[in-house]
A = this chain, B = another copy of it.
Amino acid sequence: MIGLKDVADRAGVSASTVSRVLAGKSYVSDETRERVREAIEYLNYRPNTLAQSLKSGSSNTLALVIPSIQNQMFPHLARGAEDAARKAGYTLVLCNTYEDKELELRYIDTLRSHLTAGFIFGTMLSSSEHIRRLRQEGVPLVLTSRLHGDDMDAVVIDNRLAAYRATRHLLATSRGRVAIAPGNLSLGIYADRLEGYKAALLEAGMEADTDLILLNSDNKEQLYTDVRNLLEREKDIDAIFATNDQKAFVVMRAVHDLGLRIPRDVAVIGLDNVEMSQWIEPPLTTVAQPLYDIGRRAVEKVLDIIKYKEEHGRLPAPQIEVLDTELIIRKSTREER
């Protein structure tokens, strides 16, 4: 590896001087600067950011920790985050945790000791103690998919409201009963979505029927058979709310395989508005999350936090930012009456 010293030798100056022209902050005579520039050019020298970080105690790397790139929610979020990071001269790396706490811890450990400047957590894990501790230790971080109390920074949507909107649309366009595939309730956001569903039902003068709540909807195969069983058992169900688009795809497959038509026999609605939703048949009605913006804002937020910390020596008071959602009506639900 070619280092500062090599450049210094070639330019006939000291290492400090090279460092100075690199930093561009202190004064260096134009002539010296030029000679150093040439040497850098000639040797194709690249500063070792590792050493820089070790010295400065900070870096230009941000980490986006997500459950899995398999979850189609994240491409857009990541894109927003990357764009914002790049704009600020930061590099963003992605880490998949598969909602495994051990893995999440391991990534945090590794990245932290690599002096990652900040973290964005897209994971939904219910236990957040380690994250809270991380924050207490002064590490800049922002949450995007979980929320446990208001003592941490976050950029989120109102999951309850989003689910309420989805359910209300279903209620307004159905005659029969409305079922729900809520997903793993131990993940806070799905519990919130179930709440929103119940609230909409209540408002319409109905009560949530436990039989219509498909737990275990995290496993796709399981969800598939559950939907089939449900629909065969309860003939008066004519709408299903899948608490995320990917579950909706599975639900649609099950409905279809039963010989039922979407939306005529059974309407299906999702939540997220992932890219695929518009390409499947029929195109999926869903409640859109502003995924790109969530990613973008989350990064802007950590960057603000980092800056604040540099100036004040401590993290700023936590703030939660709630972005809005929007019902996107496509063809998997009936027309509003």
A residues with a Cβ closer than 8 A to B are: 1, 46-51, 53-54, 57, 60-61, 63, 68-70, 72, 74-76, 78-79, 82, 86, 91, 93-96, 103, 106-107, 109-115, 220, 249-250, 252-253, 256, 275-276, 279-281, 283
Establish whether residues A110 and B279, one from each chain, have CB atoms under 8 Å apart when the complex forms: no
Q: Chain B nearest CB: distance from A40 CB in Å?
A: 14
Given contacts A46-B109, A94-B95, contact A279 B256 (CB under 8 A): no
| Complex alpha-carbon distance, A46 and B109, angstroms | 8
| Complex alpha-carbon distance, A93 and B62, angstroms | 11
Complex interface: chain B residues within 8 A of A283 (CB): 253
Looking at the complex, which one of B53, B78, B110 makes contact with A69 (CB distance below 8 Å)? B78
Looking at the complex, which one of B46, B51, B79, B115 makes contact with A70 (CB distance below 8 Å)? B79
Establish whether residues A68 and B75, one from each chain, have CB atoms under 8 Å apart when the complex forms: yes
Given contacts A74-B69, A93-B93, A94-B95, contact A57 B279 (CB under 8 A): no
Q: Which 3 residue pairs spanning A and B have beta carbons closest together?
A: A94-B94, A70-B75, A93-B93
Sample (19) of A-B pairs whose CB atoms are under 8 Å apart: A47-B113, A48-B54, A49-B110, A50-B50, A50-B53, A50-B54, A54-B54, A61-B110, A69-B78, A69-B94, A70-B79, A86-B103, A91-B106, A91-B110, A91-B111, A252-B279, A252-B281, A253-B281, A281-B281
Instruction: Give me 19 other A-B pairs in contact (C-beta within 8 A), A91-B110, A252-B281, A280-B280 excluded.
Output: A48-B113, A49-B110, A49-B114, A50-B50, A50-B53, A50-B54, A50-B115, A60-B110, A61-B110, A68-B75, A70-B275, A79-B96, A91-B111, A93-B94, A93-B95, A94-B96, A249-B279, A249-B280, A252-B279
Complex interface: chain B residues within 8 A of A76 (CB): 70
Complex interface: chain B residues within 8 A of A86 (CB): 103
Q: Count copies of this chain in the complex.
A: 2
| Complex alpha-carbon distance, A225 and B69, angstroms | 29
Q: Chain B nearest CB: distance from A108 CB in Å?
A: 10
Complex interface: chain B residues within 8 A of A57 (CB): 1
| Complex alpha-carbon distance, A36 and B95, angstroms | 32
Chain B residue nearest to A82 in the complex (CB): B96
Chain B residue nearest to A107 in the complex (CB): B91
| Complex alpha-carbon distance, A107 and B91, angstroms | 7
| Complex alpha-carbon distance, A51 and B115, angstroms | 10
Given contacts A1-B57, A69-B69, A70-B79, contact A113 B46 (CB under 8 A): yes
Chain B residue nearest to A52 in the complex (CB): B113
Q: Chain B nearest CB: distance from A241 CB in Å?
A: 18
Complex interface: chain B residues within 8 A of A250 (CB): 279
Complex interface: chain B residues within 8 A of A95 (CB): 93-94
Establish whether residues B253 and A113, one from each chain, have CB atoms under 8 Å apart when the complex forms: no
Complex interface: chain B residues within 8 A of A114 (CB): 49-50, 53, 61, 114
Interface centre among A46, A91, A250 (most CB of B within 10 A): A91
Complex interface: chain B residues within 8 A of A70 (CB): 75-76, 79, 275
